[in-house]
Amino acid sequence: MTAIRQLRPAQTIQLVIAHLVLLAYTALAMFPIILIVINSVKSKRAIFTTPYAMPNSNTWDPIGYETVWDRASFPSYFQNSIIVTLASLLLIMLAGSMAAWALAEYRFPGNAIMGLYLALGIMIPIRLGTVSILRLVVDLHLVGTLYALILVYTASGLPLAVFILTNFMKQVPRDLKDAARVDGASEYRIYLMILPLVRPALGTVMVFNMIPIWNDLWFPLILAPSEKSKTVTLGAQSFLGQFVNDWNAVLASLSLAMIPMVILYIIFSRQLIRGLTAGAVK
């Protein structure tokens, strides 16, 4: 008991220091987001003269949101981003979990090599193959469509999904799967039964993929630059000109674009933390 009591002050100090560091990092990470939001409802003059001040009766001006919603096709951009993100995540989770199940459950010649080959996709940026991807999309007549973006994002997200899910599926007890086989369950039924057990891994994969997909500007600019297929990030660029920039509209569009990601991150944050900590323990 004496030793424990002697350790308590030191543990308290360590805990306070850890929380102060985390709070400082949180403030540093949130500062750009807060700055964008508060300047999105200020006049253009106030954005440059008092960028760090909160909006008041003299500087309040929601013209940026009016421009984005009325004079631009922002609802269409927003809809395109949602379609591309949700469809890509669905295909990544489906194909990635099935491939991970095969690599984790079945032993066949080339199993390890196949896993290593898929893991190489994490180390090699997909943007290095932009020219080849563009040629392939042109040959498939998918330029200017959302299908091109969905296929590219699915391909880029599969390596990480397979890598994470394979390790988690290997931890599922074999007795559970063998018992299901004895009861007459098919392999597809067992696969569906395993998915809830690796829910933290699925949440981790979803968070790690949805943010890059939603924020990407590279492939929408190259593969889907038409007005009907523009995403939120590409649509925000339409307010930036060579000589005149509509900063009110740019900041308003960025503020609206952050809302879905913040909501989804809050929803899946617990699964993300559980997935990361489980991987760290392993």
Tell me how far CA of residue 249 lies from CA of 13, 59, 220, in angstroms: 46, 16, 20
In a domain, 217, yes or no: yes
- Give tens-digit pLDDT for 241-255: 654 577 888 888 888
Per-residue DSSP letter, 124: S
What is the number of structural domains in the chain?
Answer: 1
Those residues whose C-beta lies under 8 Å from the C-beta of residue 68, and which sit 6 or more positions away, are: 74, 249, 252, 253, 256
Structural domain range at position 154? 74-281
pLDDT for the residue numbered 3: 46
SS3 state of residue 143: coil
Mean pLDDT of the chain: 83
Q: What is the chain's percent helix, strand, coil content, to nearest 5?
A: 80, 0, 20
pLDDT-derived band at 4 (thresholds 50, 70, 90) equals very low
Residue 27 has pLDDT above 80, yes or no: yes
Please give the pLDDT value at position 66: 82
- Domain CATH for 154: 1.10.3720.10
| Percent of the chain surpassing pLDDT 90 | 20
Q: What is the pLDDT of residue 241?
A: 65
Q: How far apart are CA 113 and CA 111, in angstroms?
A: 5
Residue 191 lies in a domain: yes
Look up tokens 């323990």; give the residue. Answer: 281
The mean pLDDT value for 170-174 works out to 83
Express each pLDDT in 178-237 by its tens digit: 888 888 888 888 888 888 888 888 888 888 888 889 989 899 989 988 888 888 888 877
pTM for this structure? 0.81
* Residue 114 domain-assigned (yes or no): yes
> Does residue 207 lie in a domain region?
yes
Q: Is residue 179 part of a domain?
A: yes
Rounded CA separation 179/181 (Å): 5
| Position with higher pLDDT, 280 vs 227 | 227
Instruction: Give the residues across from 245 on adjacent strands.
Output: 240
pLDDT, one tens digit per residue, over 116-125 is 787 787 888 8
Please write the tens of the pLDDT for every residue from 88-109. Answer: 999 999 999 998 888 888 887 8
Distance CA 153, CA 90 (A): 11
Q: Does residue 128 lie within any of the structural domains?
A: yes
Check pLDDT > 90 for residue 151: yes
What is the structure's pLDDT at 91? 95
Q: Is the pLDDT of residue 1 over 60?
A: no
- Residue 19 forms part of a structural domain: no
Confidence category of residue 7, pLDDT binned at 50, 70, 90: low
Written as one string, the DSSP assignment of 21-71 is HHHHHHHHHHHHHHHHHHHTTB-HHHHHH-TTSPP-TTTB-THHHHIIIII
The answer to whether position 118 is within a domain reads: yes
